Structure 1
Amino acid sequence: MDILSIKDDRIKLIEPHDLNCAVLNDYVGFTRQDDMLHPDALSWMSCAIHCRPSAAIIYADEDQISDSNARMNPDFKPDWSPDFFRSAGYIGPFAVLRKHVILEAHLWDAIDRGLMGSQLIFHAVEEVLDAKCIVHVPQVLYHVRCLPQLQRLGAIQRATSALQAHLDRVFPGALAQHHGEDFSGQPWFRVRYPMPASMPLVSVIIPTRNAKSLVEQCIQSLVEKTTYKNYEIILVDNGSDDPESLQYFESLNGLPNITVVRDDGEFNYSKLNNDAVVKARGYYIVLMNNDIEIIHDDWLDEMISLGSRPGTGVVGAKLLYPDGRVQHAGVIAGLGGVAGHIHRYLESDQAGYQGRAVLTHNLLVVTAACLLVRRSIYESVRGLNDVDLKVAFNDVDFCLRVHQAGYMNVWTPFAKLIHHESATRGLDDHPVKKARFLRECDFMHKTYDDLLKNDPFYNKNCTLNDESFHRSMPTRFSSVAFIDQLSA
């Protein structure tokens, strides 16, 4: 290093405790000694700073590099996702930080203590109050070498300590638990957040028409397998005419925490739920399909613990087909047209792309087959759209409006349920249903054209044509559009 500093006066060899006085520029980039920067890396960082002068943390996509310098396994990251960062430290070892953030976060002291990469960013993000100040450049600008096996245990221990210290500062009572690691040795975590002290009432709303066997399975599993007990069930009977179903619904009406509401109007999923929310007493609202089956007793605890955090909007669950494969692990806006499920048909324990099928992370959209939201948020965005979206995409529209209101929606794999998908409604194959579906598609494109093209939690290097994070060929990324977006 001394030889390099002699050959190039831009290279300086200093000790960590001298960093504060040695760094004179407004921005500082962090890398690891064994990795490589792309030749265009600093140009892209400079461009991001120029277009977004308020940028405080800038990061980019990366890939891996072998001992023979062969590049592989591109890692196409989402835009800023705080829950995914706590789950996987996904920003990685390369980031550029504004100097005032470094000083306020006391990062020089952290470096002196041996912290690096994402461990440092935990301190930095606590000083950044505006998410727009965290900028993601969706270009592969950094090449990571895999950690040798002997170094991984130490890395896991350091990452766990850094995450727990971060949680102690921002979410007192939250607990970091190691949850595996990716093929490069990057550790993954589950964060258990504390439950509200008051244990507020939850209203579970279940619309149905007939379907006695499904409803009975849903309610019986909910009652028998839910640890959290302060809930009420509102069953919305939308014009049932099956005698066996009617008899069963009548028997439910006599139970202390179950109310059956009759609605003989046309099938309008949005209105059925909106009307039920008016009658609900809960602080939290759970929208649930009649074909959901509870399989783990702490599903509601997990969703409440996430939903009770300040700034959290809608909380979605992991839904499985009856054969155990994934039905819902989150929704991407624009995927397949209006919206599509990611990681569908994976085995339940498969990690998926970047581990996102087994890690808590932020999304624009989750399905209303089972979601939780604070009642105050539901009411503030005026609930589901029962005029333009009576059947399809009402949950997509709802989640997008919650996002636009400034909340972070989140999906968790630790609330796991079975979904006997659309077992009662049937397919939209009738001409009238098809026409309605096309109108609803048209409404979504007219209302959310930008979000359907630019889901921040789905990298523009990934295709919108399938659910498996395959690379888009050609890429959807446009440097001109990216610069315009940063400058806006």
Structure 2
Amino acid sequence: MSIPSNSKIGNGPRRPVGWTSVIAALSARMAWLSLYLSVLVRHPLEGLAIAWWWLARRRLRALGRLRAAAAGLPQVYRWWSVLHRSSFEDPWPPGLPAPHIIIHLHLASGHDAEAARRACLSVFRQSYTAWTLIVTTQDGTPILPHHAGLHIAPGTFPTRAAALRHVLATASCEYIVPIDSSIQLTRGALHAYAATISDMSPAASRSIHPVVYADQDELDEHGNQTNPWLKPEWNPEMFVAQDYLSAACALPRQAAWSTLERAPSLDETPDDGIVSCLLAYMLIGQNAPSPVHIDYIAATTADRAWQILPPGRMEAIRRLLPDASMKRGPFGTLDCTHPVPPFAPKVSIIVPTRDRIDLLRPCIDSVLRLTDYPDYELIIVDNGSRENETLAYFDQASGDLRVRVLRWPYAYNYSAINNFAVAQASGQYICLLNNDTEVIAPQWLSVMMSHAIGQDIGAVGARLLYADRSIQHAGVVIGMGGAAGHAHRGIPEDDPGYFAQSLIARQATAVTAACLVVSKAKFESVGGLDERDLAIAYNDIDLCLKLRGQGLRNIYEPRALLYHYESKSRGLDFAPEHLARYLRELGVFQQRWSTVGFRDPTHHRMLDPASETYRLKV
């Protein structure tokens, strides 16, 4: 069966025009009005304040308060969808060639006929028309709605893998969108894929085209779209831990076909897991181009489908990463641990302190008592302690051959203290550790080192909890609040956060130095911490961004679990005696890294940059 590779429909302007523009504007106005009325009903005083600011012609303030008040409303996604309607939902004007896209739907024996019908109708309703829907079946001709673009492949196929192999072999197109009967494409899905493919066309001479993936939502029990998953850019560690691509993706046909040819074990993959496993073989450990992300919700899945581990995925990744240990994690995730070499590199754990024995003793004792990593030294850097109990504890701790005490008798400068200690450290790797932390998980340093030894890895950060076991740190997002913020701060320890991202190892743009592991050589290659302009605040985030600038990736590792009694030893930055210094360092950091409006690749642009708990940006 031969499928046409291109069709002339054009990929011109992607903005609404004519009546479409008028209707979109009216819909947005109605959405704002509906949003305001809901706020007024639920929060009358705030609703009246918003109205007052609006009538006083302070409309930016009114809209800002309306957005903040609406963020927690249950209907916010419905309003958000109207307010941020995409031009992908409009037809393309004729004029320019557009790529032909194949959609593949496989129907197994005993499939849900109504679900298959809905999946087909979602394709028929596309704003983009240069497509062909190929349906393959396990046991004969299905009863489906008629459409000129629907082709039922002749014959039967014992598995979805066999059917996909047939489609990849016979279609003459660049990309194939695989769906099953539980997935419905949103109206602009194929337009979004086609636009992205067209935008890549100047580099069409490349030998391998990238996977393209998009955002997704799900249907609740009442059939309403809900729970949008606004995804990060390509994140290799996250993909190993969690399949966030397969429900909404376009596969480059040639690369997918080649992968099936070299990995015959994929033919045995269960139907529900074949696309996930195929993607794993295409992307893990391969010299493949990074997948391209589209900021658009292209697929609607069944309720909580994201929480299901695709069948066969763990076995596939185990074959791809044979040296790693693998077990199931919560919410459909995988817990993958890479081994540390038999002769583990030495780590120098650096703990600056000034008195506060009530904090220092639990920190040091927990490291020495619980840490299962085989080779480390612990360097306590004394910044002018005076209390007899603290000085006596230094003598006591020094009796352990793993412990050294260094003296830094100068004004407090976090960056300078740590740079000084790093220069004295004997380890190949450095762990910066605050004195107001306490180890919980014995494997904390081992799992951090399993990442840190990677040649392309910069800093590795831990999962830190407040004393009440709510999250203090689960990675840092640049641009939050105009500077940087801690992802998932304040949520309970067992809360998965935004689509389980607090629970999985993944790339983070930055991590906090309250507990940070990095190669000594890499630390020194970027000049260490900035002791001149960032003596106390933002020096750790600055370090991570310098490492990132060298092409290195920073990692958040949730299995490295510690308490962090934040800033108890040095005081809060917003205390009156520290505020001027903090604002000066904030200004340096913002200017150096242009953090206002920064597009963090780990944080979707349509998530609220003022929220550390991943709310929609209304």
Shorter chain as denominator, the TM-score bin is: 0.7 to 0.9
1:420 equivalent to 2:565? Answer: yes
**In terms of Rg, which structure is larger?**
2
For residues 398 and 437 of structure 2, the distance between their equivalents in structure 1, rounded to whole angstroms, comes to 20
Q: 1:442 aligns with which of 557, 577, 587?
A: 587
Alpha carbons 1:312, 1:410 under 8 Å: kept: yes
1:296 equivalent to 2:296? Answer: no
Q: 2:173 aligns with which of 25, 28, 46?
A: 25
1:35 equivalent to 2:183? Answer: yes
- Counterpart of 1:180 in structure 2 is 330
Alpha carbons 2:232, 2:602 under 8 Å: kept: yes
For residues 177 and 421 of structure 1, the distance between their equivalents in structure 2, rounded to whole angstroms, comes to 32
Alpha carbons 1:333, 1:452 under 8 Å: kept: no
Mapping 1:73-472, distance limit 5 Å: 73-106=227-260, 112-114=267-269, 115-126=273-284, 129=287, 133-146=290-303, 156-168=310-322, 173-181=323-331, 187-429=332-574, 433-449=578-594, 453-472=598-617
Query: SS at the partner of 1:409?
Result: strand
Cα distance, 1:327 vs structure 2: 1.4
Alpha carbons 1:17, 1:109 under 8 Å: kept: no
Cα distance, 1:117 vs structure 2: 2.9
Cα distance, 1:4 vs structure 2: 6.7
Check 1:20–1:323 CA distance in 2 against 1; reply closer, same or farther (3 A cut): closer
For residues 9 and 345 of structure 1, the distance between their equivalents in structure 2, rounded to whole angstroms, comes to 50
Cα distance, 1:322 vs structure 2: 1.6
Query: SS at the partner of 2:328?
Result: strand
For residues 253 and 66 of structure 1, the distance between their equivalents in structure 2, rounded to whole angstroms, comes to 60
Q: Deviations over 1:168-222 (max 9, x none)?
A: 3xxxx102211122xxxxx211112112121111100001111123212211111
For residues 127 and 21 of structure 1, the distance between their equivalents in structure 2, rounded to whole angstroms, comes to 24
Cα distance, 1:354 vs structure 2: 0.5
Query: SS at the partner of 1:347?
Result: coil
Code of the aligned partner of 2:181: Q
Alpha carbons 1:343, 1:467 under 8 Å: kept: yes
Structure with the bigger RCO (C-alpha within 8 Å, sep 6+) is 1
Of stretches 159-168 and 187-196 in structure 1, the one that deviates more from structure 2 is 159-168
Alpha carbons 2:478, 2:595 under 8 Å: kept: no
For residues 308 and 163 of structure 1, the distance between their equivalents in structure 2, rounded to whole angstroms, comes to 20
For residues 148 and 28 of structure 1, the distance between their equivalents in structure 2, rounded to whole angstroms, comes to 22
For residues 406 and 545 of structure 2, the distance between their equivalents in structure 1, rounded to whole angstroms, comes to 28
Of stretches 305-314 and 282-291 in structure 1, the one that deviates more from structure 2 is 305-314
Alpha carbons 2:256, 2:282 under 8 Å: kept: yes
Query: SS at the partner of 1:358?
Result: coil
For residues 538 and 169 of structure 2, the distance between their equivalents in structure 1, rounded to whole angstroms, comes to 55
What is the CA RMSD across the aligned residues, in angstroms? 2.6
For residues 35 and 451 of structure 1, the distance between their equivalents in structure 2, rounded to whole angstroms, comes to 37
Of stretches 377-386 and 122-131 in structure 1, the one that deviates more from structure 2 is 122-131
Check 1:52–1:207 CA distance in 2 against 1; reply closer, same or farther (3 A cut): farther
For residues 256 and 56 of structure 1, the distance between their equivalents in structure 2, rounded to whole angstroms, comes to 52
Code of the aligned partner of 2:350: I
Check 1:41–1:260 CA distance in 2 against 1; reply closer, same or farther (3 A cut): same
Alpha carbons 1:327, 1:419 under 8 Å: kept: yes
Query: SS at the partner of 1:351?
Result: coil
- Counterpart of 1:72 in structure 2 is 226
Check 1:351–1:123 CA distance in 2 against 1; reply closer, same or farther (3 A cut): same
Cα distance, 1:92 vs structure 2: 3.2
Gaps of 5+ in 2: 1-134, 136-140, 155-162, 204-208
Code of the aligned partner of 1:8: A
Of stretches 227-236 and 92-101 in structure 1, the one that deviates more from structure 2 is 92-101
Check 1:5–1:366 CA distance in 2 against 1; reply closer, same or farther (3 A cut): same
For residues 33 and 127 of structure 1, the distance between their equivalents in structure 2, rounded to whole angstroms, comes to 31
Code of the aligned partner of 1:92: S
TM superposition score normalised by structure 2 = 0.70
Query: SS at the partner of 1:399?
Result: helix
Cα distance, 1:277 vs structure 2: 0.6
Check 1:127–1:410 CA distance in 2 against 1; reply closer, same or farther (3 A cut): closer
- Counterpart of 2:106 in structure 1 is none
For residues 110 and 456 of structure 1, the distance between their equivalents in structure 2, rounded to whole angstroms, comes to 34
For residues 79 and 362 of structure 1, the distance between their equivalents in structure 2, rounded to whole angstroms, comes to 10
Alpha carbons 1:110, 1:120 under 8 Å: kept: no
For residues 40 and 401 of structure 1, the distance between their equivalents in structure 2, rounded to whole angstroms, comes to 39
The sequence identity of aligned pairs, in percent, is 32
Gaps of 5+ in 1: 182-186, 474-488
Check 1:333–1:137 CA distance in 2 against 1; reply closer, same or farther (3 A cut): same
Alpha carbons 1:64, 1:73 under 8 Å: kept: yes
Cα distance, 1:49 vs structure 2: 2.1
Alpha carbons 2:221, 2:303 under 8 Å: kept: no
For residues 409 and 5 of structure 1, the distance between their equivalents in structure 2, rounded to whole angstroms, comes to 49
Alpha carbons 1:101, 1:128 under 8 Å: kept: no
Cα distance, 1:236 vs structure 2: 0.9
For residues 299 and 228 of structure 1, the distance between their equivalents in structure 2, rounded to whole angstroms, comes to 8
- Counterpart of 1:479 in structure 2 is none
Check 1:472–1:176 CA distance in 2 against 1; reply closer, same or farther (3 A cut): same
Cα distance, 1:24 vs structure 2: 0.9
Query: SS at the partner of 1:359?
Result: coil
For residues 575 and 472 of structure 2, the distance between their equivalents in structure 1, rounded to whole angstroms, comes to 25
Cα distance, 1:116 vs structure 2: 2.4
Check 1:9–1:50 CA distance in 2 against 1; reply closer, same or farther (3 A cut): closer
For residues 556 and 574 of structure 2, the distance between their equivalents in structure 1, rounded to whole angstroms, comes to 31
Query: SS at the partner of 2:589?
Result: helix
For residues 509 and 266 of structure 2, the distance between their equivalents in structure 1, rounded to whole angstroms, comes to 35
For residues 569 and 517 of structure 2, the distance between their equivalents in structure 1, rounded to whole angstroms, comes to 22
Count residues in correspondence: 460
Cα distance, 1:69 vs structure 2: 4.0
Cα distance, 1:296 vs structure 2: 2.1
Code of the aligned partner of 2:510: V
For residues 195 and 435 of structure 1, the distance between their equivalents in structure 2, rounded to whole angstroms, comes to 44
Alpha carbons 1:193, 1:306 under 8 Å: kept: yes
1:13 equivalent to 2:153? Answer: yes
Alpha carbons 1:201, 1:230 under 8 Å: kept: yes
